[in-house]
Structure 1
Amino acid sequence: MAKDPKPQNGGATRAGSSGGRTPGGKGRTRPPVNVVTPQRPWGLIAAAVAVAVFAVAVLGYAVVTVNRSNADKVTSADQIAGLGTFEYAGAQHVTTPVTYTESPPVGGPHDNEWADCTGTVYDVDVRHENAVHSLEHGAVWVSYNPDTIADGELDTLKELVDGRQGMMLSPYAGLTSPISLQSWNHQVFVDSAADERVEQFADFMVFNADFSPEPGATCSNPAFISDPLVAGDQTRVGGTAVPSDAPVSETPAP
């Protein structure tokens, strides 16, 4: 009988070896790979969303506030309800008392010295001839009836005027309404300091170069603050009398 051929060198399978496979025909087992699932930074995302929402809310509130504020602003004099308009020429200096047609006056002959109007709050009925000169410089004169205005209303007017360039506040005896506001050739009467026309008039008329005969003239007069003249006082007058034209009222004030 023929003998079985001997296996060729290199052709025999080593004991315990199966060509890189484990006994039983199974493949070599690799160590398991640890798969780390990325964690989403939910806390940071939530915080960012909260900040964004807050920013939008703040911006929205600011826009609404500005819109409400601008809603009451005027861009022309005729938008102020009940506004009285007049026509007076400037530069009419006199040394004698003046009997004004309007009360309080809104223009016409006046003293050479102006009442300080640098946001000045007076506790006296300022001499009208000096107050009118302030109007000529572009000031707004807020006056009130001391007998009819409430304390809270007066506090509101003081807050509006105090320290604000181009404005002054004073009592005015016999005023037909609790409050009136005057600028050169313009006037409005109101019953309450909360009336929207108070701020409308102040914002639009103060130093309005379209209406004041002497735009850019100073409102400062420290000497008048330290020694303010009162209505009817003729102890200190200045300037030379200049003939004045008769005023023409375009729209009578109430």
Structure 2
Amino acid sequence: MRTVPSRPDSSAPVPPKAKGQAKQLSVKQERDARRAEKVQAMLAQQKRQQRNRRIGWISGLAAGVVAVGLIIGFVVSSATPKVDPASISIGELKTFPGLTANHVTGTVDYEMTPPAGGDHNAVWLNCGVYDQPVPNENAVHALEHGAVWVTYDPAQVDEAGVQTLRDELPSTYVVLSPFENLGAPVVASAWGNQVFLEGVDDARLTDFVQKFWRSNDAPEPGAACTGGLNAAGKVA
């Protein structure tokens, strides 16, 4: 009879892994652990930096708010209160109530010189500085929009005087122009109001501008003072 070789017993115990294999697994685990510690330390450092930046940003913002508050408080406390135009009194002020404001063609015979209101051309004069006389009918239309028209007699006001007027007047809603045979060195006109001044340094000019510049008493206050007619001699 032929003998059959015996098969290995599957239930026999499996020999343990070699000691070198166990040691290699332990080293890998230690390396992973160290890497994890470094990652955690780096994340913690990043969080601290972010927190410090937030604290610095908030502190800077708070300091800025405080500084702005101090500046505003100083300006408000030291600012001069705005003068009520109705409370300003101007000596020898002439008033012309009940003026009509129709659009007409051609020239208009005004009741005052220079004109301080009344019927006028449909196109307003652009506000600015002119070194030549401007059309009355267009200038009156600018007065209707709340502008102040300052005229000067070129025979009585020299170039330095004109510059004084320019420095004194606002940069918008003002017409400054020469006017022949004016009857005074300087005349300031607004819609329905006018004052004859003794010279370029007459303090009433400042009062007149404060009282009537862009006044709501004009028929069309706040309407445009640009986009109309640029008369000859406009220099600014």
- SS at 1:187's partner residue? strand
State the Cα deviation string for residues 51-74 of structure 1 (Å, max 9, x = none): xxxxxxxx9xx96x959xx8xx66
1:186 aligns with 2:193: yes
**CA offset digits 1:49-100 (Å, max 9, x no partner):** xxxxxxxxxx9xx96x959xx8xx6632760111000014343111021111
Contact 1:149 1:178 in 2 (8 A): yes
Greater RCO structure (CA 8 Å; 6+ sep):
1
Q: Secondary structure at the match of 1:79?
A: coil
| Structure 1 residues 94 and 127, CA gap change in structure 2 (3 angstroms) | same
- 2:226 equivalent to 1:216: no
Could you say what the CA RMSD is over the residues aligned between the two structures, in angstroms?
2.4
Q: Residue deviations 1:197-243, cap 9 Å, x none?
A: 1111112211110x10011211112x523xx159xxxxxxxxxxxxx
Q: Aligned equivalents of 1:150 and 1:217: distance in 2?
A: 32
Is the 8 Å Cα contact of residues 88 and 211 (structure 2) preserved in structure 1? no
Summarize deviations over 1:122-158 as a string: whole Å, max 9, x none.
0110000000000011100000000111332211112
* Whole-angstrom distance in 2 between the partners of 1:77 and 1:113: 33
> TM-score of the superposition, structure 2-length normalised?
0.61
SS in 2 for 1:224: coil
The counterpart of 1:145, out of the listed 134, 140, 153, is 153
In structure 1, the partner of 2:139 is: 131
Deviant stretches of 4+, over 2 Å = 73-78, 88-91
The answer to whether the 8 A contact 1:106-1:182 is kept is yes
Matches within 5 A, 1:93-242: 93-117=103-127, 120-161=128-169, 164-209=171-216, 211-221=217-227, 224-225=229-230, 228=231
The structure with the largest helix share of the pair is 2
Does residue 1:84 correspond to 2:84, yes or no?
no
Q: Distance in 2 between matches of 1:90 and 1:216?
A: 19
Does the CA-based 8 Å contact 2:90-2:208 persist in structure 1? Answer: yes
CA-to-partner distance for each residue in 1:4-57, whole Å, 9 max, x for gaps?
A: xxxxxxxxxxxxxxxxxxxxxxxxxxxxxxxxxxxxxxxxxxxxxxxxxxxxxx
> Residues 152 and 177 of structure 2 are in contact (CA less than 8 Å); yes or no, is this contact kept in structure 1?
yes
State whether residues 138 and 229 of structure 2, in contact with CA within 8 Å, keep that contact through their aligned partners in structure 1.
no
Q: Is the 8 A contact 1:115 1:224 kept in 2?
A: yes
Contact 1:74–1:80 (Cα < 8 Å) also in 2: no
Secondary structure class of the residue paired with 1:153: helix
